Chains A and B, each alone.
Chain A
Amino acid sequence: MKNKKADGWSRREFLGGLALTGAAAVVGWRPDLVTAAVEPPPETTRLRFHKGKPACWAPIYVAEPLLREEGFTDVQYVFGPQTEVGKMFSEGKFDLNVGFSAKTMYNLEHQPYPLKFLSGLHVGCYALIGSARTRSVRDLKGRTVWAGAIENDGPHLFFSTIVAYVGLDPRTDVNYVWVDKDEAIRLFRDGKIDAFMSFPPGAHELRHNGLGHLLIDTNVDKPWSQYFCCMVAGHSDFIRKNPIATRRALRAILKANDIVARDPETAARILIERKVIKESEYVHILPELKHIPYNMWRDYNPEDTIRFYALRMREIGTIKSNPQQFIDQHADWRFMNELKKEFGITW
């Protein structure tokens, strides 16, 4: 059994919530018993997440048993294609979601919907992989690249900020092929494209096959590694009406974050169980989950992530709003700050 842990507790046990306190203790949570005791139950027992493809969103699935502990009896994962997120959000189909900060801001800019960022989730996860012909990002000038299947989606936005950071114009200095990932891998292998903007499990998959080399690994390369990639957000109405539920849900997600950092194998299994990834992808996903810094939510300031990406996107003209406008309209750090205090994190 792959899911038998060295710590001595199984995935089944974990999912059953039996070892929850143990797990929390393992990852260093020191829940304030007084707070927990006086905290009223959530205003609602139903919680709906946006269910998406990215494997890096593992914490929201890992959080399920923790959410039950917090008093949510009806936890739903509602599927919605990336392009529809804004619309579905407006229609009130989700209460909480996680997503790439820059992409969310892009959506908010072009089709505003009632979303508030609540906290950071994880750092990194994107990687820019270059062909043998490219030694640096600047070499991509005039080359053909793959940055996702559709324009202005997460990979494209991230890629744009990365190349713009070294002075290339993402709109004119590179050529894009808008094909799906499998086709892109084929093109990359055939030497038809020179860069590949990967997200889990792309990078590992390519390197596993001995293709290309890392130009930028946003998990470790500055400045990208100094900011969150995906962040936790909620529907404004949900947050306003259910502040306790919001705090409880966020607590569960952040705990799950630590669990993923500590126990990526279990997280990967849960992803398969949730049908987020296929069994066959396990080998590629696991190293990625191990690699992604899931525990940075304590140290990083999510507000600065918004600032950073807003500045970068504004630089290349993808958005027009200034950082402060996003922060003013779409951020609510109350819950995160309360939780940090609760867990004895000083800043």
Chain B
Amino acid sequence: MKNWLPRLVAKAPFTVHTKLIGAFFTIAALLIIFGIVVIQVLSGINRRSEELSQLRRKVAAFRRLQHDTTAQLYSVTSALLSPEEQTLESSLRQLNEFRYDLDRLQFVTRDEVELFNKIRKEHEQLVQMIIKVVELTRGHEFTKANELRLTKTVPLADILERLTNEMVNRAEADMEAKVDESNRAYMTSRWVVIGFAVGSIGLAILLGYAVSSSLMGPVKLMDNQLRQIASGDFSKRVEVPNRDELGTLADNLNRMNNKLRDLYQQLDAASRHKSDFLANMSHELRTPLNAIIGYSEMLMEEAEDRDRKGSIPDLQKIRASGKHLLELINAILDISKIEAGKVELFPEAFNVKALIEEVSGTVQPLIEKNSNIIAINCDDDLGDMYADITKVRQILFNLLSNACKFTEHGTITLDAVHDYSERTSRLLVSVIDTGIGMTEEQMGKLFQPFSQADIQTARKFGGTGLGLAITRQFCEMMGGDIKVRSERGRGTAFTVRLPMAAPPPRADAISSATSGDSSKSV
């Protein structure tokens, strides 16, 4: 279970702020403790080296004393050999040096009073003996002096030498013990320092990992949840163990998710109702309209037959209005079907050039109506296309009919090209006119349902403003797109790109494409 730590941190009932501060403080505390440990180690080293140098001073003092003892013995011996006042004097003077040595010894062996007293006692005896020997020599009692020297002074000096030797050995042994202690202390300190360093780094990493995981985990979960929501999936909830701000955030996210889910369901229902309503209404409206159109045609035929030509223009107006209304209703039905996601594609193979010729045939009356001429340029290798022919036909028709509608005494050009430049080969159709054109602003809302350039346009040219909206929807459904270039008063060019082979139908593309504009269509 490697996640228990982040979990524990997450569950801790503190704010993220407190947790971060806590983590930083812990690391800072570790650094301080580490520093203290190092300082202790260093002061230990310092203390031991001081003790060592003190021991060294002791050894030197002992050696000095030893040396002077030997020198004294030598001096006494030579005084006996040549008993002149001068040598005797120097022998006595050397005793002073002895005392000086003892003073030095007393200074360096402050901590060993007993030992010092022992040495001083022996020395005092030796000094007394030497003075005696010197006095005897002065009194020319050489035999006595020599005897005293041999029986007392020499053994005393021997004892003293051994005693000082012992002191030297003791001090050296102490030094060795100190060296060992130092080495051991060094080893321990080394491991303590290494342990501390490794421990601190480990703990810092662990803390960092725990804190960041306890923060990043929930953030990632919530990010996922937001993506789900964005893609319209409201079925999941985000569960985080945190009891901090992130926990609250997750709760709020879940609440928002629920709210959105409810809203979406309401919206969906409303949209479905609207579409159903439109579809029903269109159907209900089309039946009587067809009857009206049918009857007005019948009445026109009868008027012709019975030669009551006076009523024909009126009947013609009724029929035209009826037809216009029917077209309008069909368009509304189309757009509402698209928006409701009820439009399906029925791809089939067909010859592109043939279709273009068919459509241009159909729009021929519209071209002539505004005294325009049409130029059609088709690539030789257009070949066959696999797509929903009805939709392609409607796209071409809409573009051509717009071009005709908004151009007078002009030229309408249709270019069709087979474009291999991209991964999938595409059909490129441009419908270019020399008509009234559009401003930038007009182009901006071109493909929105019920949008027309301006009120005048609507009055002057009629129409519903649904043609381009449907066209764009169809293009996108088929995996293509539509673009426009236009200049006010100069003309307009629409370019449609459609894959030559239709991809399998994408249900989500349809619904998302419609929902984007759904507010406008309501």
Contacts and interface: CB of A to CB of B under 8 A. Distances in A.
A310 B179 CA distance: 14
Contacts of B170: 304, 307
A124 interface: no
A299 B176 contact: no
Majority SS at the chain B contact face:
helix
Given A299-B159, A311-B172, A304 B177 contact: no
Contacts, number: 44
A304 B165 contact: yes
B173 A322 contact: yes
A155 interface: no
A323 B173 CA distance: 6
Contacts of B161: 226
A54 B159 CA distance: 29
Contact of B176 (A223, A226, A301, A322): A322
Interface in B461-510: none
Interface in A46-93: none
Contacts of A311: 169, 172-173, 176
B93 interface: no
A136 interface: no
Given A299-B159, A322-B179, A322-B180, A304 B166 contact: yes
Given A322-B176, A322-B179, A323-B176, A307 B169 contact: yes
B166 A323 contact: no
Interface in A310-331: 310-311, 314, 322-325
Given A226-B161, A322-B179, A322-B180, A310 B166 contact: no
B223 interface: no
A282 interface: no
Contacts of A325: 177, 180
A333 interface: no
A178 interface: no
Interface residues of A, number: 15
A308 interface: yes
A223 B165 CA distance: 9
B342 interface: no
B173 A324 contact: yes
Contact of A314 (B159, B165, B166, B176): B176
A29 interface: no
Contacts of B180: 322, 325
B307 interface: no
A324 B169 contact: no
A307 B162 CA distance: 13
A301 B173 contact: no
B177 A308 contact: no
A226 to B, nearest CB: 6
Interface in B164-196: 165-166, 169-170, 172-174, 176-177, 179-180
A300 interface: yes
Contacts of A322: 173, 176-177, 179-180
Nearest to B162: A226
B159 A324 contact: no
Nearest to B179: A322
Interface centre among B165, B170, B173, B180 (most CB of A within 10 A): B173
Interface string B308-335: 0000000000000000000000000000
A322 B173 CA distance: 7
A247 B165 CA distance: 29
B162 A310 contact: no
Given A307-B169, A307-B170, A311-B172, A324 B177 contact: yes
A271 B405 CA distance: 147
Contacts of B176: 310-311, 314, 322-324
A300 B169 CA distance: 14
B174 to A, nearest CB: 7
A125 B173 CA distance: 25
Given A226-B161, A299-B159, A324 B166 contact: no
Interface in B54-68: none
Given A308-B165, A322-B179, A323-B173, 11 more contacts: A223-B165, A226-B161, A304-B162, A304-B166, A307-B170, A308-B169, A311-B173, A322-B177, A324-B173, A324-B177, A325-B177
For the complex of A and B, 8 pairs with smallest distance between CB atoms: A323-B173, A322-B176, A307-B169, A304-B166, A324-B177, A307-B173, A322-B177, A322-B180
Interface of A: 223, 226, 299-301, 304, 307-308, 310-311, 314, 322-325
15 contacts: A223-B165, A226-B161, A226-B165, A301-B162, A307-B170, A308-B169, A310-B173, A314-B176, A322-B176, A322-B177, A322-B179, A322-B180, A323-B176, A324-B173, A325-B180
